[in-house]
Amino acid sequence: MLGIKTPLRKTTILPVLSFTLSSYFLINFIFYLQYTDYTGLVEFLLIGAPFIGRAITPITYPFLMTKMDIERITYLSLGNMAILDIVEFFMASNTLVLIPLRVATGILFGLATSAAVELATQSRSKIIVGMTMGGWALGWILAALISFLVGKMILIASSFSLVFFFLIKRSNTDKRLFSYPGNIGIAFSWKALLIFLLGFEPAYILQLTPSLLGESNAIEETIIAYSISFIAYILLPAIRNIRITSLLSSLIIGILGFASFIMLKVWIFIPFTVLGLGLNSLLPIIIRSMKVEVTKIGPSMNLASLSGFLIPSLVSIGDIEINSAILTLLSSISLGAIIYKNLKITT
């Protein structure tokens, strides 16, 4: 781009690492909750609070991009999330303090993932974009593994990420590649926001899996499906025709999702989860094909995360199974219609 070369690790390894670790920091508190005695309402607030922090990324990300380079934003975000985890561990009895700390975790997650998506998109490799988005699945797996190994000390174990503070002085990504104008605006696109809202629906509706399938079945489904889904994150972008791949994936996800919530069988939830998560790898590629600026993709993705807070609550009003089945089917059909209308046949 403009004859400027960026080290390969900064558009390949760094975005995957950033999305994976930031996802781990967002999720590990869910595993820590099993060692607490919070009320259901408090647990709901603590799990949902980061989504509020993520939603202001369209403001925080462009502001910081006028002050520092993208690599430094990544290192600062990952290092500070480790500090927040440690503070949360020692302040676990004070929920009034925990809630703003969880919001702050969401803000840092939004910064790290926005930077990751921008770096991955600049690599112009669909595989790297897919692997970066696959960091969500890797983050889940990492959180589950560390929780299994250290139990309630999972938040303290996050201190490994403090090493990123030592890398800040070494960050030297060329600002001409990733820079914002002097004036501070809001970085998001309505097109990107709509695509992410519809595309993320399967991932967020899957938060209901434990309550619908039961804890043991949910753990089995999660371990199998999330492990396989990372392969889908890589394979789906590798298919040449993104338009056809996206259309077929959306249709199959809608059918599988509808059947999953009606039948409540683990064996059908697994392919729904794999494809539903794997489709996320195509969303930045679809959005980029719609001529949306790369600087707006990550913030739009994090603004769309508000649906992760709202969807489980809304479908719980009435019959959860029927509402979830219908919402998943309609979201998939709507996404497919947008892709069919906006992407060229050769894409």
The answer to whether the beta carbons of residues 339 and 250 sit under 8 Å apart is yes
Q: Is the pLDDT of residue 16 over 90?
A: yes
- Among 131, 158, 186, the domain-final residue is 186
Residue 246 predicted with pLDDT over 80: yes
| pLDDT digits 0-9 by tens, 260-303 | 999 999 999 999 999 999 999 999 999 988 888 888 888 888 88
Helices (H), the chain: 8-11, 13-32, 40-55, 57-65, 70-90, 95-122, 126-133, 135-150, 154-157, 190-199, 201-205, 209-213, 215-238, 242-263, 266-278, 283-289, 294-303, 306-315, 320-342
Q: Are residues 118 and 129 in the same domain?
A: yes
Are residues 344 and 214 located together in one domain of the fold?
Answer: yes
Say yes or no: 231 and 327 in one domain.
yes
Greatest Cα-to-Cα distance within the chain, rounded to the nearest angstrom: 57
The confidence score (pLDDT) of residue 333 equals 96
pLDDT band of 332, cuts 50, 70, 90: very high
- Is the same domain home to 142 and 222? no
Per-residue pLDDT at 177 exceeds 70 = no
Copy the structure tokens of residue 320: 């959860």
Same domain, 10 and 155: yes
The answer for residues whose C-beta is within 8 angstroms of residue 90's C-beta and 6 or more apart is: none
pLDDT in tens, 189-233: 899 999 999 999 998 888 788 778 876 787 788 788 988 998 999
Same domain, 192 and 164: no
Q: Looking at the predicted structure, is the pLDDT value of residue 174 above 90?
A: no
Rama region for 310: left / alpha / beta (φ>0; ψ in -120 to 50; rest): alpha
The C-alpha atoms of residue 271 and residue 279 are separated, in whole angstroms, by 12
Q: State the pLDDT at residue 145.
A: 86
Q: What's the CATH number where 78 sits?
A: 1.20.1250.20
Shared domain check, 215 and 126: no
- List, as one string, the DSSP characters of 12-33: THHHHHHHHHHHHHHHHHHHHG
Residues 160 and 218 in one domain: no
- The answer to whether residues 45 and 90 belong to one domain is yes
In the chain, the number of structural domains is 2
Q: What is the CATH number of the domain that holds 283?
A: 1.20.1250
Q: Give the residue from 186, 212, 243 where a domain finishes.
A: 186
- pTM exceeds cut of 0.75: yes
State whether 338 and 258 are in the same domain: yes
Q: Which domain holds residue 279?
A: 188-347
Same domain, 163 and 245: no
Among 126, 161, 186, the domain boundary falls at 186
Place of tokens 């807070």: 309
213 shares its domain with 315: yes
Helix axes 190-199, 294-303, angle to 10 degrees: 50
